[in-house]
Amino acid sequence: MTEAKPVVVCTWSESQGEFPVGAEEALTLGRKVANALGTRLHWLVLGTLPETGMETAGRFGADGVDQIEDAALEAFSADVYLNALAGYCRQESPMLVVFSQSVETRLVAPRLAGRLEAGVLMNGVDIVAGDDGGLQATASAYGGDTQVVYELSGAACYVFALAANALQAEPAEGGPTQPGCRSISSDLGGVEDRIRVVEEARTEGPRLEDADVIVSGGRGLGGPENYGLIERLAEALGGLAGASRPLVDEGWVDSSQQVGLTGKITRPALYLAAGISGASQHMAGCSAAKTIVAINKDPDAAIFRYARFGIVGDCLEILPELIQAAKQ
Amino acid sequence: MRIVVCVKEVLDPDAVNNYALAGRLEIGEDGKSLTQTTIPRLMNGFDEQALEAALRLRDAGAECRIGVVSVGSDPATILKHAAALGADEIAAVMMEEPSPDYHVVATLLSSYLSTSGGADIILCGRQASDDDQGVVPALICEALGIPLVTNARAVELMQAAGETALRITRVTPDGDEVVEVSCPAVVTVSNELGEPRYPTAAKKIAARRMKPEIVTAESLSLSAEKLRPRVVALRQFVPTVSGNCEFVDGETPAELASALIARLRQESVIS
Ligand SMILES: Cc1cc2nc3c(=O)[nH]c(=O)nc-3n(C[C@H](O)[C@H](O)[C@H](O)COP(=O)(O)OP(=O)(O)OC[C@H]3O[C@@H](n4cnc5c(N)ncnc54)[C@H](O)[C@@H]3O)c2cc1C
Ligand SMILES: Nc1ncnc2c1ncn2[C@@H]1O[C@H](COP(=O)(O)O)[C@@H](O)[C@H]1O
């Protein structure tokens, strides 16, 4: 009997030494699919395994941890990472490779699919296995205005990226497993990225992705002169200032401040949105926040559907008072 | 030098949004498509910016032909828009299905590219605003075995000693990054590139006479096996967002503000 092909969850740390963002959610989904299909779940880690890695792997029910450690993987390079991954997949023949969606996996996952002749789906929300062993996957479309259910059939392997806010991480039922850890060798010495970086990106200060508190402003601010209110409230709450896309398009703020589908994907404890309508493309970047607070003059604004707390009113009047109250 | 821009026709995402925001977005009887027939169809916004990037390269002095290609059931309208903006050649790759699989689209596009004389620069949008996938450019780059640079906000040509390369400013989570890559390459363009130009009336009229080259799977000699879909849309639905918003009470802005801060402290959201 041939052994069922494994489900593989693939992660790496995007900032050195940190636990890979979204790994627990991806493992949760991987475990579910592997259970439904009666196959193994492997967690493939590129680069250094996080300190608590083995414990996490057990808690989320991985049957094995595979690690590719190589000096070439220390800093992200699409071509090098892709080579390592494609080599691994050719050897292990997974039926499904799950990534947690990020800017880096957005680059690597579809190219991996191209290289392996696999099927691919990004912005994934869920995968369910039918009784016949077939897979159906759901992904968001129109920024999240709709979701589409796809049948995955016709390819030997699928690559799937799980969106940031798609599901809650849940430890495996039936207690932790005792996965083994394999060190996979990979010959990456000769691989060079065909893209030469001539000027590195330089983050000016802390990043929205890592912020615990974010205060964002939208078109409801009326004009660039009012964006200072957002910055001052962010400062008073010890957080960072973000924005919706029109503010970037109009040049009020830098593009590094854009939250949303095509901007930053954030996961703060508190996300306060002032003068933002709540378009799905904006919410794609903040709906993973623990608590959303909305200030909008329109009581029917969509943002209130996502918010835990809301104020109906003019943000230009309310923001100055909030700055005061936050300082007290 | 030949630049080819890949453009997709999509439903106007702002119109789709407005229906969604009003809670009136509905799926038709086929269980797949949006019922709103009044939503205009247009060129994907990022693709319009990809074409703008090509036009800027030409404005900056690059000697090039700009081709625009689209895969779809009826891409003539957006291709004429591309011609009005300044495309030298337009090609329609006919595809009957309303939502063909990404892999099939990428196979058609890469096969068109390699049989029509190749391209030094292939420009795409960072993602299509209907499916948001952003996978077609990656699949093209792997099919052609050439590099991919994503999320460009500026694209410049560097020509030296018979070598053509690009210098690209990329939008990344850590700020802008500048990279160089030798041609041929696939580059995806992001909204940070800025407003695309509008066609002039005269160019619009001239473009009406331009006929797209019609390309089919047969004319590309692609077998059914090569065009077998792998990801097939079964149904589409509008997800419900379950709201449980607590509206804060107060008569004046000051009252509302202190009530909100008090609630956030009570719930330990802030200290
Ligand atoms: C492919 C694609 C990708 C996109 N990516 C992103 C993205 O990454 N991020 C993003 O943000 N958007 C993105 N968008 C745009 C998105 O669809 C919306 O257009 C955008 O988020 C709207 O921004 P807004 O809420 O600031 O403006 P509007 O929709 O104009 O809303 C303004 C809101 O402010 C309220 N308001 C007005 N005046 C006041 C006042 N004085 N006080 C209080 N409230 C007031 C109004 O009631 C309204 O709700 C994308 C769109 C597309 C098509
Ligand atoms: N049907 C199509 N015809 C031409 N180009 C396409 C098509 N579909 C996708 N593309 C290109 O690929 C980019 C990303 O699309 P997607 O992968 O569908 O999000 C688009 O912005 C286009 O440049």
Which CATH number fits the domain that encloses residue A86?
3.40.50.620
Domain total of chain A? 2
Query: Does B133 contact A123 at a Cβ distance shorter than 8 Å?
Result: yes
**What pairing do the DSSP bridges indicate for beta strands A135-141 and A146-152?**
antiparallel
Whether A48 contacts A121, CB under 8 Å: no
* Rounded percentage of chain B residues whose pLDDT exceeds 90: 83
| CATH code of the domain in which A291 resides | 3.40.50.1220
Nearest residue by C-alpha to atom 12 in ligand 2: B136
Higher pLDDT residue, B152 or A209? Answer: B152
Which residues form the domain of A42?
7-183
Cα B215 to Cα A93: distance, rounded to the nearest angstrom: 36
User: Is A1 domain-assigned?
Assistant: no
Q: Which two tokens stand for residue A272?
A: 């306060």
| CA dist A55 → A30, A61, A174, A176 (Å) | 17, 10, 15, 8
pLDDT of residue A1: 42
Query: Does B229 contact A121 at a Cβ distance shorter than 8 Å?
Result: no
Give the pLDDT confidence of B74-130 residue by residue, as tens digits: 999 999 999 999 999 999 999 877 667 899 999 999 999 999 999 999 999 999 999
Q: Which residue of A has its CA nearest to B19?
A: A145
**Both A39 and A124 in a single domain?**
yes
User: Is A196 domain-assigned?
Assistant: no
Residue A50 has pLDDT above 50, yes or no: yes
Query: Does A120 contact B103 at a Cβ distance shorter than 8 Å?
Result: yes
Size of chain A, expressed as the number of residues it contains: 328
**Both A114 and A158 in a single domain?**
yes
**Both A77 and A177 in a single domain?**
yes
Find the mean pLDDT for residues A149-172: 94
The single-letter code of the amino acid at B254 is A
User: Is A96 domain-assigned?
Assistant: yes
End-of-domain residue from the set A149, A183, A217 = A183
Find the mean pLDDT for residues A6-33: 93
The SS3 call for residue A181 is strand
CA of A298 to the centre of ligand 1 (A): 13
User: Is A202 domain-assigned?
Assistant: no
- Output the pTM of the full model: 0.94
**Both A170 and A235 in a single domain?**
no
Cα A264 to Cα A256: distance, rounded to the nearest angstrom: 8
Cα A123 to Cα A118: distance, rounded to the nearest angstrom: 17
Nearest residue by C-alpha to atom 8 in ligand 1: A260
Q: Which residues sit with their C-beta closer than 6 Å to ligand 1?
A: A 143, 218-220, 244-246, 258-263, 275-277, 279, 281-282, 285, 295-298, 301, 314-316; B 13, 17, 129
User: Is A273 domain-assigned?
Assistant: yes
Residue B7 has pLDDT above 90, yes or no: yes
SS3 letters across chain B? CEEEEECCEEECHHHHHHHHHCCCCCECCCCCCECCCCCCEEECHHHHHHHHHHHHHHHCCCCCEEEEEEEECCCHHHHHHHHHHCCCEEEEEECCCCCCCHHHHHHHHHHHHHHCCCCCEEEEECCCCCCCCCCHHHHHHHHHCCCEEEEEEEEEEEEECCEEEEEEEEEECCEEEEEEEECCEEEEECHHHCCCCCCCHHHHHHHHCCCCEEECCCCCCCCCCCCCCCEEEEEEECCCCCCCCEECCCCCHHHHHHHHHHHHHHCCCCC
Whether A89 contacts A157, CB under 8 Å: yes
Per DSSP, A156 falls in state S
**Both A156 and A217 in a single domain?**
no
**Both A156 and A298 in a single domain?**
no
User: Is A198 domain-assigned?
Assistant: no
Whether B189 contacts B49, CB under 8 Å: yes
Cα A101 to Cα A124: distance, rounded to the nearest angstrom: 8
User: Is A194 domain-assigned?
Assistant: no
pLDDT of residue B98: 60
**Both A43 and A148 in a single domain?**
yes
Residue A64 has pLDDT above 80, yes or no: yes
Angle between helices A315-327 and B253-266 (to 10 degrees): 50
Binding site membership of B103 for ligand 2 (Cβ less than 6 Å): no
**Both A29 and A108 in a single domain?**
yes
Q: What is the CA radius of gyration of chain A?
A: 21
**Both A147 and A236 in a single domain?**
no
**Both A97 and A163 in a single domain?**
yes
pLDDT of residue A33: 96
Give the pLDDT confidence of A239-271 residue by residue, as tens digits: 999 999 999 999 999 888 999 999 999 999 999
Nearest residue by C-alpha to atom 23 in ligand 2: B124
**Both A140 and A263 in a single domain?**
no
Residue B206's CB is within 10 A of a number of other CB atoms, namely: 13
Size of interface A-B (CB pairs under 8 A): 250
Find the mean pLDDT for residues B181-210: 94
Give the pLDDT confidence of B44-83 residue by residue, as tens digits: 999 999 999 999 999 999 999 999 999 999 999 999 999 9
Cα B49 to Cα A118: distance, rounded to the nearest angstrom: 29
Banded pLDDT at A312 (limits 50, 70, 90): very high
Find the mean pLDDT for residues A120-126: 97
User: Is A190 domain-assigned?
Assistant: no
**Both A278 and A217 in a single domain?**
yes
